[in-house]
Structure 1
């Protein structure tokens, strides 16, 4: 039986990496492509802060073609949707039939994704959907997916969190109310190795930066996020 061809929505972090791994394990879909959305100009992955060059290094280790979709950080919703629909149309023209996401609990986000996919004539796949995040965190470590914390909310963390390995010690020390997978945006990660990587992506850890973001378009309050500059260690 021919397996549907899919592209992985690749955030560069652990949830996308585990969704990819589970997709390979079931052997019901053929993963042929990766795609990542970047902020135009900065050329970094959204709230992860991961530079495009590191995402490209991951794709080389995986051995799959990668599309980098650049969208302005201040793009209107209509502009964002047009960019995504144009991109999805290109995927479909190449024979891709669906997209795999690493979403776990966020119902509104899944509904939004499904609306775009339906317009594009593509199928969405969610291998982590509704699974307990403590179980997923344990599975990440058990299956040999290695990651570094690249962004962390000041609601839960100080600057010492960024640059740490996402490991058993990090998970055990999470503050009360912090999801072990960071599902509410508490932290984000960059994956340095997974079972389907040909080799690890070596990292250089750089400076730590604190940035602030409005909690919503109309909010008076802000949320702080610590980031760490990451680069591929070519030495």
Structure 2
């Protein structure tokens, strides 16, 4: 299917896979209208990757793409996601981009949300080799730092590291997935070919939540 010229929103997490999917969509000639990100109203940060609102505002400025926060609790998560898609459809959006790679449950959830409002769900990275994707991400010039590590799957020494060929090799040597697709790690992307300037951020003190070691990020003072 030819997507050139189509307006899209993207399900943005702050991490590497969503940025690579957005990058590919733009390279295909698609037009970004907004990035949508679910925002945890209980913790006052984005769901899953824990990015605070002020950092997201800086990302929006650097990318020159509006970021729409879907402020939601867990109970109304799917419903509020669909509401935002419906709103964006009114802005001429025909497609929603997702950065999922090969987990069928994720594909089904995303497809259902889009089907409910009559928008096409598009997965530019779908079924591609995981390590090749993260290597492409690094090669085109994106910069991502590891902000969350599942310590039952990956050693804590990787926390805070910038993704590189060396770090990916270290991850793989420990038996973890190069792309972290099984939840071994999460990243925050602060620079790359879509950014007009590097997004400044700083780490807060390390925290632990169950088996996860986390370096929360904040705006750089």
TM-score by length of 2: 0.93
Greater strand content: 1
Measure, in 1, the Cα distance between the counterparts of 2:46 and 2:179.
18
> 1:136 aligned to 2:129?
no
- Residue 204 of structure 2 aligns to a residue whose secondary structure is strand
Match of residue 14 from structure 2: 12
Cα 1:207/1:22, change in 2 over 3 Å: same
Match of residue 191 from structure 1: 189
Measure, in 2, the Cα distance between the counterparts of 1:51 and 1:81.
21
> 1:229 aligned to 2:205?
no
Give structure 1 regions of 4+ aligned residues with deviation exceeding 2 angstroms: 156-161
Measure, in 2, the Cα distance between the counterparts of 1:49 and 1:160.
20
Cα 1:103/1:40, change in 2 over 3 Å: same
Measure, in 1, the Cα distance between the counterparts of 2:204 and 2:132.
31
Contact map agreement 1:17 1:194 (CA 8 A) in 2: no
Q: RMSD over aligned Cα, in angstroms? A: 1.6
For 1:13-162, what aligned pairs fall within 5 Å after superposition? 13-27=15-29, 29-72=30-73, 75-76=74-75, 79-162=76-159
Structure 2 residue ranges without an equivalent (≥5): none
Per the TM alignment, residue 172 of structure 1 is displaced from its structure 2 partner at its CA by 1.1
Match of residue 176 from structure 2: 178
- Aligned residue pair count: 218
